[in-house]
A and B are shown apart, each in its own frame.
Chain A
Amino acid sequence: MPDPSAPAARPRATNTRRTFLRRAASGVAVVAIGPALVPVSRFLPAAGAQASGDASLAAFAESIELVAAAAYEAGADFLSDDLAPVLRTFAAHHAEHAEAWADLAGERATGEPNPALLEALTPTIEGFGSQNEVLRFARDLENQLSVTCGHLLTVLEGGDAATVAATILPVESSHAAALSYELQEGLEASFPFGAVESAELLFGLDPAVFPVAPS
């Protein structure tokens, strides 16, 4: 399978503006037109735990993706036959995201779910009692992962790392929108940040709050 994160070549500008518009004009003539987020406020950044550098940030991203995959597994028992395969697919996506981040993290990859995030989420996960509780939890987590991925795009330095984030971000946001739709929360709920996705860690997962376990 082709690697979706393989660098894209810059396309070539084959026309001048004038020829571009001229072609357009001739072409037109011949065609018929027919949340309740993860409670992080009680957590403070661990001293010296600030992740920095692409490899460290990738290791952090790997660890939170593994939490998402694990959380979906924990909620599987409450899902209908129709929804179970959907959320299993989402979990598989997160596992694939974790692998992509681990490749970037190299020796800093842990292969383990983020321990601080897992600790924060465990009471909620252990308290699952219905399908809708699982869906609401998953929707919130997907929104947070989307924001976090957007934040990483602002701080990752290397092109390869940024490309990995770019290929993953719209999948996280898509998951969140699908879960909101399933919860019948209405149109606006599928777009909690409006027309532009947030990259503010206030709505995401802060690497300083949820440090990766020391390897």
Chain B
Amino acid sequence: MTLALGAVLAGCSDEDDPAPAAQPAPEDPTADSGEPATDTSLLNTALSLEVLAFDTYQAAVDGGLVERREVLDALTLFQQHHAQHRDALVALVEAAGGEPFQTANPVAKVTLVNPGFSEVAEERDLVGLVRDLEQICARLAVHVASIVEAPELRSAVMAMGAVASRRATYLDLLGDLGNEQLARYPVTNPLPADAVVPD
């Protein structure tokens, strides 16, 4: 156990990006042509990522690669977390007067999750895949919280983002993945620009 935790920090650096295995695509050069994303757009983007995470955990459990009971327990609990986050974000979108986008984020699925799944060969790879997805969930929460202006929205989003960070760390240790850990999360959008759900 001690070695596992030590490994988390083995790669500590001063870089501001945790650099998950699945890197977001370069920013869309046409991105400035549209209107700035609204609060409901940002919340829907987070919602779509929660749906994607829920589906990804289901695929992970169903894939036949899970060997250890503690891994199965973690995947099961974390999928439940994402269901709760999904429901909370649906409520936030509706409270903001928007229409909830309850579909797995298609861009993130194609650019981040699917390429990751294609490289999964064993349980540890699977744990690494969902660890990366949790980091993206946490980073997106920080990004959204740095933009929305209502304190109650910031708080609600970060209450979920903080738990995503816990999950990422737990998975990192569970898989002995040795991810670097930073003093502060960056505020940049971890998703491709075209993954933002439009209103």
Contacts and interface: CB of A to CB of B under 8 A. Distances in A.
A155 B155 CA distance: 9
A196 B88 contact: yes
Interface string B22-65: 00000010111111111001100000000000000001000000
Nearest to B196: A11
A20 B107 CA distance: 8
A92 to B, nearest CB: 7
Contacts of A159: 146, 149
Contacts of A9: 36
A28 B158 CA distance: 30
Interface in B75-100: 77, 80-81, 84-85, 88
B146 A13 contact: no
Contact of A11 (B1, B103, B151, B189): B189
Contacts, number: 267
Give the interface SS of chain A, mostly helix, strand, loop or mixed: helix
Contacts of A150: 155, 158-159, 162
Given A150-B155, A154-B151, A174 B166 contact: yes
Contact of A174 (B42, B70, B149, B168): B168
Contacts of B173: 178, 181
A71 interface: no
A42 interface: no
A36 interface: no
B177 interface: no
Contact of A20 (B37, B84, B143, B197): B197
Interface of A: 1-2, 4-17, 20-21, 23-25, 27-28, 31-34, 80, 82-83, 85-86, 89, 92-93, 96-97, 100, 146, 150, 153-157, 159, 162-163, 165-174, 176-178, 181-182, 184, 187-188, 190-191, 193-199
24 contacts: A2-B186, A4-B184, A8-B143, A10-B37, A11-B193, A14-B194, A24-B109, A25-B106, A31-B110, A97-B183, A156-B151, A162-B145, A162-B146, A169-B161, A170-B164, A171-B182, A171-B184, A173-B162, A173-B166, A181-B169, A190-B169, A191-B167, A197-B158, A199-B155
Interface of B: 1-6, 8-9, 12, 14-16, 28, 30-38, 41-42, 59, 70, 73-74, 77, 80-81, 84-85, 88, 101, 103, 106-107, 109-110, 114-115, 117-120, 138, 141-143, 145-147, 149, 151-152, 154-155, 158-170, 173-174, 181-189, 193-194, 196-199
